[in-house]
Amino acid sequence: MEQDHGKVRSAYAQSYEVMRDMILNGHLKQGIKLTEEKLATELGVSRTPIREAIRKLEQEGLIVNKRVVKLTETDLRNTFELRMLLEGYAARSAATFLSTVELDKLKHCVQIGREGSKDEIMEANREFHEIIMQASNNARMIDLFDQMQSVIYLFRQKVVLHDRPFLIEEHARICEAIQAHDGDTAEKLMKEHLQADLDFCLHLIR
């Protein structure tokens, strides 16, 4: 019985990861209705792990009412307003608490942003924001931020793949403010950075 339960959990984890990636890479288009039976056949599992995977993806905001989320202007604004609150506070905290090791990692993310491939820049962008968020030392805020990661990824694709101007320069200035232990400036720059991301994404979807 315990072994069967483990197999179900494994099937659920695999189904979740595959379905999440199918949404993030555009294989499952925004707005498409999901059918448990069809997905179970495609992934070679029963409907139970598919149902559990859909439930988790709903919690992450990638599925709404059994449909792949179709991101609207309201979704964009709501997500970025929350990010500004969370990450603005985190940037201020980072200016006080970020260790030398983490600061070096932050600088490396900026360097990759200038020199890396698109995939490397995507990863460096994710790590940059994650390092700063961790510096908030607030477990609840970090959990909330983590729950948003899949939706944030969809927006990050737009700003990186469409070469948003000044993206990496803004990261560099945030890093400099953190290194100077200037919390006011770090928070201000982070909020301005995310506002620029929002404006750019809004321009793309209109």
pLDDT in tens, 144-186: 999 888 888 888 888 998 999 999 999 999 999 999 999 999 9
pLDDT of residue 149: 87
Confidence at residue 155, expressed as pLDDT on a 0 to 100 scale: 85
**Token pair 């498409």 in the structure block, residue:** 32
For residues 24 and 27, give the distance between their C-alpha atoms in angstroms, rounded to a whole number. Answer: 8
DSSP 173: H
Asked whether 182 and 95 are in contact (CB, 8 A), the reply is yes
**pLDDT class for 55, splitting at 50, 70, 90?**
very high
- The pLDDT of residue 24 is above 90: no
> Can you give the pTM of this predicted structure?
0.82
33 beta partners: 67
Select the more confidently predicted residue: 154 or 100.
100
